[in-house]
Each structure stands twice: as C-alpha cells, then as structure tokens.
Structure 1
C-alpha cells in the first residue's frame, strides 16, 4: 500500500509533474489519516502526524517519490460585496465574531452558503450572491478548523488574563 506522510505546499513543487490529483471540498481537505483515490485511480493512504488543512495546489508526496496534487472542489458559497471598504470590513468583523470560515478576496468575501448569515450581511448593508467555487478560507491566527479540535470539542483560542 502506497503511503503519503509529507506535504509540499502549493508553489514549492512542479505540479505539472503530478502523478494524479485528488479533488476535495473544504472539509475533505482537513485530514490526518484517510484512504484516497486520485482521479486517475491511484490509491494511497494519507497518513500525517496530525490533522492538516490541505490547500489547493499542495502536493501529497508518496513513499515512492511521486506526488499527487490537491485540487479544491467547487462547492455552494455566498459571495459578499459591500458599497465601500468600511462596510466590507464591518461585515468581515461580524463574520469573524461568529467564528465563520471566511475567504478574503480583496473587494469581496466568500462564506459557506447560509440563509441566516446572508440575511445578517444584507442587514449590515452588504449584498450576497450564490456562487459555486473552491472554498479556501483564511487560516486564522491559530489555524483552527471550524473552531473545533480533533475530538470535536469547541476551542476558543482567545487569551484571558
């Protein structure tokens, strides 16, 4: 059984030489140990020392030296715009205050589609539209995934004191 226990970050390897590719949504890109099969049928075991958030373009290095490219799958998202930068920053603050994974795209934001959050954004003066796109949210200062640890317990990285 082929095994992968090393990741090469996007841009740090020649992805044109990839032996295969795995297409994963945001949740599927946060893994530690999982059997995977590439688009061309290459099967291998991802076996990392700790759960890791894989990014689009990362390379999964197999024990035989070949590399499998990670591709971010398109998923239903809400794209958020605002009439000006001040309004967009205010919306981003509210999303962060709710610990929502958010992709920062300069003049717009993307979140997982959620009608309650869309209503909140529109109440704050923003505009939303449904899009299908790869989701690559900001990792955050503590690089938590959805604010939960590996055991599913909610973690608050805030420092008190």
Structure 2
C-alpha cells in the first residue's frame, strides 16, 4: 500500500469511529517525520510506502489510512530531550544565544525550551546554572535541522 497524503489527525476522528476500527500504528523517530518518502512497517507487520504528494511533515497522531475497518496512525517514539526552563528573559537570551551558536534546533512550548539530548549541552546548562530536566518525550513536531551560512 502506498500512502500519498495524510487523511486527518487522530484527534479529529470521532471517538466512536476510533473504537469501531482496528488500530495499527507506525512507530517513527522524530527525524523520520521530515521524510516525504519512506518505507515503514506497522506494529501488525503491514508494509507501507509513504510518498507524500504535497510537501508536508508527518506529525504524531496523523492518520495515514482509514476505511470502514482499519485505522493506521503515526506514533512518535519518545526521545531523550533536555527541557530548559529559564527563570528570566535574560537567562532565555543567554542560553538561546549559546545554543544558536551551535546551530542546535529547538522547540518552544509555553515557558520551556526543548532540545534533543546532548551531553555537551547538558554540561553547558549545568555550568550556566540554568534550570533543566532530562526526559523521554514524544515531540509533537520534528527537530528541524537549521541551515546556516557565515558568509
């Protein structure tokens, strides 16, 4: 089966509809969410080809296939992240500048900054005295590589 478009989000599927269908999951690392073309296997062993016609990133909860009997959904594998919680705008500016110099992709949710775990970043946070925790999380969106040029 070739998947060419995202049908909907699981959040938008009526609960009754979800319960009446066989649910299969495609487990993806956050990096794989950026790939428009890939071959995957569901948790029930069904092989799928994903070849998205429109440029779009996959997301946790995307429904790849739905009929009267089945639902195939993207499930993001939890990954090791650092959750940074600066106490002030000054700390935020300081750590954002330091991480920006490393061209490290980050995500922002409310009062926290998420970055993929890196022992060097953890060491930087410790030495800078900026509060953080290390956790395994399902990120909602992929960490996108940052293109850069110093020319």
TM-score, normalised via structure 1 length:
0.70
Cα deviation code 1:4-62 (max 9, x no counterpart): 00014536741753742212111122212222121233321111247642111122247
CA separation in 1, counterparts of 2:134 and 2:78? 12
Matched residue SS, 1:123: helix
Specify which structure has the higher proportion of helix: 2
User: What's 1:3 paired with?
Assistant: 2
Say which one has the larger Rg. Answer: 2
Distance 2:101 2:9 in 1: 29
Distance 1:99 1:9, change over 3 A: farther
Aligned pairs, how many?
146
Query: Is residue 82–residue 125 contact of structure 1 (8 Å, CA) maintained in 2?
Result: no
Q: How does 1:1-161 map to 2 (within 5 A)?
A: 2-8=1-7, 10=9, 13-14=12-13, 16=15, 17=18, 19-49=23-53, 52-61=56-65, 67-136=71-140, 145-147=144-146, 155-156=147-148
Residues 57 and 69, structure 1, Cα contact 8 Å, conserved in 2: yes
TM-score scaled to structure 2, two decimals? 0.74
Root mean square deviation of aligned Cα: 3.3
SS of equivalent to 1:46: strand
Question: CA 1:67/1:40 → structure 2, altered by over 3 Å: closer, same or farther?
Answer: same
The unaligned stretches of length 5 or more in structure 1 are 140-144, 148-154
